[in-house]
Chains A and B, each alone.
Chain A
Amino acid sequence: MKENCKKNFERISEYLDGELGRDACLQIEQHLMECPECRDCFDALKKTIALCKKSGQEEIPGDMRERLRSKLRDCFSSH
């Protein structure tokens, strides 16, 4: 990886999260337009984050739910 690529690669997450200033954003955007390798890397990272954010959430099982309430009632019913 070239030195310029590495410098941008280190800040890609901050760029994706909107945590960089205007100049730094423009610099990264310019680099992504010029470097197909970094663009692939950027796209894959963006897709990874989107995929993980979409991953399903489990519903707490009914028996665990009941055990939790029962424990809390035992501990705090006379607080």
Chain B
Amino acid sequence: MPKTSPMMEGILSKPLTPQESVTVTAVATDITDHQLISRFKEGSMEAMEAIVDRYENRIFNFGLKMCGQFQDAEDITQDTFLNAFRYLNTFREETKLKNWLFKIATTACIRKRRKKKCEPDHELSLDSFTNTDGTKETYDIPDWTDDPSDKVIQAEMNSVINNSIKTLPHKYKLVFNLRDIEGFSTKETAEILGISIESVKTRLHRARLALREKISRSYQEGKST
């Protein structure tokens, strides 16, 4: 569990109710989020900043992976938090704050894309990933290096991965980022996007197959130069 900052300790100094104490070990994060929301509703600006501290990097990175531009990621982060605090009174207690914020961030990404009048999404067909001519397809995917001395290689890998994700069609990119990067379950992703579980599974599989091709191609090109 992350260390509580002095500011958080101040905000959370109110004693927990007996009911909260029972469940605090199992779902500490959610209890804290809900406590922060209550404090914000009572007028605490520190509680608002503590919520931002917790989620701004994740929302910013999601915006960056979705749009590929720092400016767009900043707009999405601002829109997300402005709308979240504006409509916090509609937040349902049984919902996880993280899921709710990502739902708002997803809407911000879709709105940003509409504003930019981007090309319509193209479908990724499963048949395009299966070779029908009988030839054997080989994929060259590197292993991630955890060696801190390989910073240059890690930066190159990050660049290949991010560029590959960036080129996915928008609806596939949304599912991939929520499932594989942010770690939401299939059910949570379906709820955030308002689509069926089957659609999440289909889009995720195709996004992964497309990334396998893109990353493999980039890696092979990099090796040959």
B48 touches A76 (CB 8 A): yes
Q: Is B56 an interface residue (CB 8 A)?
A: yes
Q: A13-B204, A40-B138, A55-B157 are in contact. Are A47 and B162 (CB under 8 A)?
A: no
A48 touches B215 (CB 8 A): yes
Q: Is B201 an interface residue (CB 8 A)?
A: yes
Chain A residues within 8 Å of B157, by CB? 51, 55
Q: Is B64 an interface residue (CB 8 A)?
A: yes
B57 touches A57 (CB 8 A): yes
Place the interface of chain B in its size category.
35 or more
B208 touches A61 (CB 8 A): no
Q: A51-B161, A55-B157, A64-B74 are in contact. Are A13 and B82 (CB under 8 A)?
A: no
Q: A48-B211, A55-B162 are in contact. Are A77 and B139 (CB under 8 A)?
A: no
A65 touches B56 (CB 8 A): yes
Chain A residues within 8 Å of B205, by CB? 10, 12-14
- Residue of chain A at shortest CB distance from B179: A17
B45 touches A76 (CB 8 A): yes
Q: Is A23 an interface residue (CB 8 A)?
A: no
Which of B45, B61, B132 has a CB less than 8 Å from the CB of A57? B61
A41 touches B165 (CB 8 A): no
CB distance from A62 to the nearest CB of B (A): 12
CB distance from A48 to the nearest CB of B (A): 4
Q: How far is the CA of A28 from the CA of B209 in the complex (A)?
A: 17
Q: A6-B130, A53-B180, A76-B48 are in contact. Are A48 and B208 (CB under 8 A)?
A: yes
What 10 A-B pairs have minimum CB-CB distances, sorted nearest first? Answer: A44-B139, A13-B205, A47-B141, A54-B144, A60-B60, A48-B212, A1-B130, A55-B161, A64-B74, A57-B61
